[in-house]
Structure 1
Amino acid sequence: MIDFDYLKREIKKEKVTSFLVYQKGNSIFEYYKNNKQLEKLHKINSCTKSVLSILVGIALEKKYLTSIHLPVYSFFTELFKEQMDSRKLDITIYHLLTMTDGLDFPEFGEWNSFAPMVYHPNIMKFVLERPILHPVGTHMNYNSGCSHILSAILQKVTNMKTEEFANKYLFKPLGIHEFYWYEDKMKINKGADGLVLKATDMIKIGQLILQQGVYANKRIVSEDWIKTSTAPYFKTYDSIGFYGMHWWVNKLDEKNDFNYENTYYFALGFGGQYIVILPKEEMVIVITSEIYENSLLPLKIIQKNILI
């Protein structure tokens, strides 16, 4: 049993702005730092990446994309003409989704969780000009540039801004009416961290994943895509867990194998933004925070109080 009184005391000590727990589609715990948080649109930072993953799945189902194994250069031949390293021609959508592109991108290293690509007039160019550090497909390294390129691919193949595509095929079906999606100087929606949502609408995203792509009895994205995108592919960061396709994946019990009873998935954004799905308990947890000095602190609170 979750001790919600203790949980609330823990949350109040930290810069958590909202903390929602839903089970079987019903709210069982809600905390808001103040009344303004009820309707506030939160910048969900890298939780944007997980929403983007859903959009890729929808694009596949709607035949805007034929495969995740298409080479990235086939969408942006002009940009790749400038590349001297032919190994970059091997990078596919799959490598972007799993962040196994092989590029030197020290986002979780010397850049300290902040990729300087945001200052570049052409983010795509900045990312693709990074040197190859690992053979493509062999090593997961956190790279927000991958997500931005995915957003650009969606814009290219759908002939819609990513936010338009999301609104038509994801947000409207989920009943999400208020959102904002920042874009770069090239008018591409920021796939890495640009989405702004209400906490209650973040719950809907989590509920969609929990229900294997169905919401309000309507199929929004295929069950196969949910299973594929939330599978554990690479473990690079012990403190966070495994990486799927723009979703983090972890075990409840480290001693046992991954299975339905022993797995949870989550979207994680800088500053402590979270959408956590716990299939075993039919539970979705959403956190918005301003804990920029330790983005993993809310995850530790969840692990200590709920994932037991």
Structure 2
Amino acid sequence: MNRCVKLLFAILTTLFPFTFLQAQHLVFLDHRPDTAVLQTYIQSYNIGSAQDLYVRLNTGKSLVEELQALAPEFPKDELIKHGNYQFRFLIDGKVIYKEDLGPGAILQKDKLINKPLDVVLASRTRSGLWSINLWDRFLSGGGAAVSGKNTSNLTLELRVYLDNGGLVYSGLLAKGILKVTTIPQAIDQTKIAPQVIQPGSGWELSKAKYNKALITEMNTKIEDQTYRLINGIVVIKDSQLLLEEYFNGEKRESLHDPRSVTKSITGTLIGMAIQDGFLKADQQQLKDFYPLKDFQNYSTTKDSVKLADLLTMSSAFDGNDDANVSPGSEDNMQETSDYIKFALNLPMDPKKTNGKQWSYFTAGMIILGDILEKSIPGGVESYAKRKLFDPLGIDQYEWFRAPKDQPYMGGGLKLRALDFAKYGQLYKNGGLWKGQRLIAEQWISKSFDHLQTLPPDRPGFYGYLFWNKAFNVNGKAYEVYYASGNGGNKIYIFKDQPLVIVVNASAYGRGFAHAQVDQLMEQYIIPAVR
């Protein structure tokens, strides 16, 4: 490498140990000891653009060395379990957002090695990273709104913290300053006004009035990416199609991946199988279906897990998708080649009691799906077609597949937005579709009942694989039952309003996904159509 280039790189690293990088100019060379990574530094960034944004962390010490300064007596492996970096985002000197990274953020090897760490904050192609979610939470926490269309100074400050029965923080270790703007991207003017509903929807069209100005404003913000990766919105009012909006290249015939919305459909199929006599009741226990002594971690607690416990996410399995360290998380399951064996091999959590506490457990859906597969002649896929999709007139769909080519009952069943609306309307109708009973009314009631109270970070209740909460609009509460999936996918069924609302979105793994849909509902959709 040219000696002058290496010298310049060394000077920049010394003067700007914590600075922003432009990913498309990030050049990786051969990683021999005599080479370095060349990077182009930027001084300004447009939040409204699709430009990637990286940051280089370099305090001159590894994370574990910084933590040792707070607690020299602690062993390294304990330090990294109880501490990490703290990020503070300031706009023009005012703290807008701060976050203590959880111990699971940043790879362990990167915590132990003293080297600059490049992390991505915004990316067009990557998702699900702790750093991207951090950036998204800063934006949804007020960052985008405060900076506005004018240029502001964004300061990013770095500290470390340690939680040893009480939080302890270091002093300021590094900071970087970047000029930011939120100039919106070019807008497709043909998608600003409410879109004209084309013939052939399969729905009777509504003649109800709605606030077109609010929908126009909402569409503008979706198009300029204030609300990101919103792909479809359908509103059914009084069983008629009122609004049908598509964005980001999607259209009526697009099959959309709703992720965990599929869990609610799994619950529907369990209810139908009980109604048809293939299953006896929701109180049946796992020992009725499996010789659990043939699996690992046998216990009578596992024997006594009821279908109802899995339907309410309240079994005592040691599984929680929201906890990185959980042995039964969906991420751990998807690294295996036999999902049902993985689920039934799991230990039981001695701190849990079947039916008494809620934790998000996708592996439970695999068990429910396998029980359906074993109990219904011809299997669950043909049963779903015959008993649910065909009666609803749904002929375009695509199952996500688990190993062994079984339908994955935990997520990924692709449908059209209008067909998600049919499913929602079926529940709104109490299980009836065009005069035909598809689901027992009692099952709908259980699905919507407040069977489990959700934790504080997810206010509301949980029934049989349906969520429940209330939106507040101008001081009035609007209670909804809803199916929900990663990325911001929703089917809302209103309790006291003649409304079913579908939102399809693809903000998978993004920290803003669900919060922005809440904003769309409270600020635009409900006020426009109620």
Both proteins in one fold, TM over 0.5: yes
Asked if residue 249 in structure 1 is aligned to residue 468 in structure 2, the reply is yes
Q: Distance in 1 between matches of 2:444 and 2:298?
A: 36
Q: Note the aligned Cα RMSD (angstroms).
A: 2.3
* Equivalence for 1:175: 393
Partner-residue secondary structure (3-state), 1:5:
helix
Which residues in structure 2 correspond to 1:10-25 (within 5 Å)? 10-12=221-223, 13=225, 14-25=228-239
Which residues in structure 2 correspond to 1:1-308 (within 5 Å)? 3-12=214-223, 13=225, 14-34=228-248, 36-77=250-291, 80-110=294-324, 114-133=330-349, 134-240=352-458, 241-252=460-471, 263-292=479-508, 293-294=510-511, 295-296=513-514, 297-307=516-526
Partner-residue secondary structure (3-state), 2:272:
helix
- Cα distance per residue 1:258-289 (max 9 Å; x no partner): xxx95311111111111111132211111111
Q: Distance in 2 between matches of 1:99 and 1:276?
A: 20
Q: Distance in 2 between matches of 1:119 and 1:161?
A: 25
Q: Which has the higher contact order (CA 8 A, sep 6+)?
A: 1
Contact 1:79 1:125 in 2 (8 A): no
For structure 2, the 5+ residue unaligned runs are 1-209
Aligned-residue offset at 1:159: 2.4
Contact 2:336 2:342 in 1 (8 A): yes
Q: Distance in 2 between matches of 1:223 and 1:277?
A: 15
Partner-residue secondary structure (3-state), 1:186:
helix
Aligned-residue offset at 1:111: 6.7
Contact 2:330 2:361 in 1 (8 A): no
Change beyond 3 A, Cα 1:76–1:194? farther
For structure 1, the 5+ residue unaligned runs are 255-260
- Report the more deviating stretch, 118-127 or 26-35: 26-35
Partner-residue secondary structure (3-state), 1:103:
coil
Contact 1:127 1:145 in 2 (8 A): yes
Q: Distance in 1 between matches of 2:394 and 2:465?
A: 21
Change beyond 3 A, Cα 1:26–1:86? same
Aligned-residue offset at 1:116: 2.2
Aligned-residue offset at 1:242: 1.2
- Report the more deviating stretch, 20-29 or 75-84: 75-84
Contact 1:70 1:93 in 2 (8 A): yes
- Report the more deviating stretch, 40-49 or 178-187: 178-187
Aligned-residue offset at 1:135: 1.6
TM-score, reference length from structure 1: 0.90
Aligned-residue offset at 1:252: 4.2
Aligned-residue offset at 1:170: 0.3
Aligned-residue offset at 1:122: 1.1
Contact 2:298 2:347 in 1 (8 A): no
TM-score, reference length from structure 2: 0.54
What residue identity is the alignment partner of 1:207?
Q
Contact 2:232 2:250 in 1 (8 A): no
- Report the more deviating stretch, 137-146 or 188-197: 188-197
* Number of residues of Structure 1 aligned to a counterpart in Structure 2: 303
Aligned-residue offset at 1:115: 2.7
What residue identity is the alignment partner of 1:157?
S
Change beyond 3 A, Cα 1:124–1:79? farther
Q: Distance in 2 between matches of 1:229 and 1:215?
A: 17
* Equivalence for 1:257: none
Contact 1:203 1:285 in 2 (8 A): yes
Aligned-residue offset at 1:68: 0.4
* Equivalence for 2:146: none
- Report the more deviating stretch, 137-146 or 184-193: 184-193
Contact 2:232 2:417 in 1 (8 A): yes
* Equivalence for 1:258: none
Q: Distance in 1 between matches of 2:521 and 2:243?
A: 13
Contact 2:365 2:410 in 1 (8 A): yes
Contact 1:265 1:278 in 2 (8 A): yes
Contact 1:65 1:157 in 2 (8 A): yes
Partner-residue secondary structure (3-state), 2:245:
strand
Partner-residue secondary structure (3-state), 2:320:
coil
Aligned-residue offset at 1:52: 1.1
Q: Distance in 1 between matches of 2:347 and 2:295?
A: 15
Contact 2:292 2:303 in 1 (8 A): no
Contact 2:233 2:245 in 1 (8 A): yes
Q: Distance in 2 between matches of 1:80 and 1:174?
A: 41
Q: Distance in 2 between matches of 1:37 and 1:115?
A: 31
Q: Distance in 2 between matches of 1:79 and 1:183?
A: 28
Q: Distance in 2 between matches of 1:128 and 1:221?
A: 29
Q: Distance in 2 between matches of 1:183 and 1:16?
A: 25
- Cα distance per residue 1:49-93 (max 9 Å; x no partner): 111111111111111111001011221215755433331111010
Q: Distance in 2 between matches of 1:162 and 1:300?
A: 37
Partner-residue secondary structure (3-state), 2:405:
coil
Aligned-residue offset at 1:127: 1.7
Aligned-residue offset at 1:182: 2.2
Contact 2:316 2:348 in 1 (8 A): yes
| Bigger radius of gyration among the two | 2
Partner-residue secondary structure (3-state), 2:403:
coil
Contact 1:44 1:273 in 2 (8 A): yes
